[in-house]
Structure 1
Amino acid sequence: MRVLALGATELKLLWRNRSVMVMAIVFPLGLGGYMAYQGTSFGGGGWGVVVTLQIMLVLLMTVYITITTTLTARRQDLFLKRLRSGELTDFGVLAGTVGPVLALGFAQSLVLTIIAISAGAPIPNNPLLFAVGVLVGLALFAAAGMASTVFTKTPENAQITTLPVFMVAAGAATSSFLADSQTVHWISVALPGGGIAELLRTGWLGTTWDGRAVGFADQFLAAGPAVGASAVWSVIAVYAALRWFRWEPRA
C-alpha cells in the first residue's frame, strides 16, 4: 500500500510539471498520432515502420528520459534519502517512483497502437511477439534511465546526459529496418534499441528484415537474436543501475 501511495504522489508530481508533461506525454502522443495518419504514404509494409517508431518514441522519451530526470530531481531535493529512512525498502522506493512512468509508457503504447489501427494499419500479425517487444523495451529503458542518473548531476543536465543513448537507440531502430544488407541490419539489432525495433516490426508485420513472410513459430525464431541482444543490454543496464545508483546528491 505504501508503494501505491508513493506511486500516486509521484504521478501527481509528474502531472504538475509542465516540462515533463510536454516531454513525456504531449510530444510522444502528438508526433506518434501524426505519424499514424501519415502511415498510408509508406505503403503496406510501412505500417511496421510507423508503429515501431511510435513505440520507440514512447520508450525513449516517456520512459528513458523521464525516469532519468525524475530520479535525479528526487535525489537532488533529498526526497529519495528521506524515503529510505522510512519503512519502505530500497526496492519499494524505486518501484513507487519509477512505476507510474512505466504505467504511463505502457498506456501510451496501447493508445498509439489503437490510433494506428484506426488510421488504417492492419492488426499485429503476431500480437504476442509485439507485446514482448513493448515489455522488454519498457524494462530496458527503465533500467537505462536509472543507470543514466549515475552521471547526471541535475535534472537540467538530463537533456544532455541522455542524448548519447537516445541517439544510438533511435539510430539503431531506424537502421534496423532500413538497412540494405544483412550485415548492417544485424549490427543495428545488436545495438541498444535495435533489437526492440526488430521485435516490434516482426510482431506487427510477421516478416523478416528483408520482407520475407514467415509463419507464426518461425517469427519467434527470426526474432531470437533481437531478444538475445535486448536481454544482454537489459542485464547490463540493470547491473549498472544497481551497482552505481546514488541515493544522495552528487558532490
Structure 2
Amino acid sequence: MDKQARNYAVKHDAVVEAARTERQEVLARNRTLLTLELEFERAARGVESHCHCNALVAMAGDGTDSLNQRETREMQRCEKLRAGALSDPTVKFMLEHLQKAGCVMPEEAIRCMRCDERVFGGYQGDGSIVMAANHIATQGIANATLVHEMVHAFDECRAYMDWNSCKQHACSEVRAAALSGDCNWGKEIQRGNFNFANQFPRCIRRRAELSVAMNPNCGPVLAKEAVADVFEVCYNDTMPFDRIP
C-alpha cells in the first residue's frame, strides 16, 4: 500500500470511529430516559418498530376487568420468562459481547409490553428491546427472541446501520434468524415445515423476508430481492460467535 492509500485508510478509519462513538453516546443518553411508561414510537432509524405496544384504559362498565386480569397474568408470565432468559448462556454471551463492542445493554432496557402485532418482540431505535408479553409463552421462545433482537443491537453497535436500506435490514435479519435458534429443527416442525433438504437456510430466508417486508421502505418484493442479494455473505457472518450456535 502506497503512502497516499495509507493516509486515506487512516482518515477513513478515523471517520468511522468518530461516527460510531457519536452513535454510542446518543444511545447512552437515550437509555437514561427509559421509564416504565416508555412509549414505542416510530424508531429514529426510520423503520417502524416490529412491536406496537398498546395501553388499554379501563372504563366503568366496559368489561375490561377480566381483560386487565389477563394482561396482569401475561405481564407476570413475561417478567418470569425475561428473568429466565437473562440467565440463559447464549443471552449472557450476547450481553457480554455487546459490552465489549462498546454498547452496554442494561437489564432495564429489556422490557415486557403488550404488542398489537403478532410478533414475539422487537429491537427499538433507542437501543431497547421489547418482549411481547401477550405472545411469548415459553422459555425457549423468550430466549430465542432476546438473542434475535440482541443480534440487531450488535449490528447497530458495530456499524452505523441504515435501517431504511432494505439490504442492510435484510443482512441483520438473516444473521438474527441464523444465530438465535429461530430456525432449529424443533421450531420448524412446530410450524409444520417438514422438508429435510436445506430446511435451515430455507427457514432463514423465509423469516428474514417476512421481517424485511414489514419495513415500510421495502415490502414483500424488495424484501425477497434484498435477502437474496445479501444471503451468502450475511449467513456466513456469525459475529460475535465463532460459528452458528
TM over 0.5, yes or no? no
Which structure's relative contact order is higher, taking Cα pairs within 8 Å and 6+ residues apart?
A: 1
Instruction: State the TM-score, normalized to the length of structure 1.
Output: 0.29
Larger radius of gyration: 2
Structure ranking higher in helix proportion: 1
Structure ranking higher in strand proportion: 2
Instruction: State the TM-score, normalized to the length of structure 2.
Output: 0.30
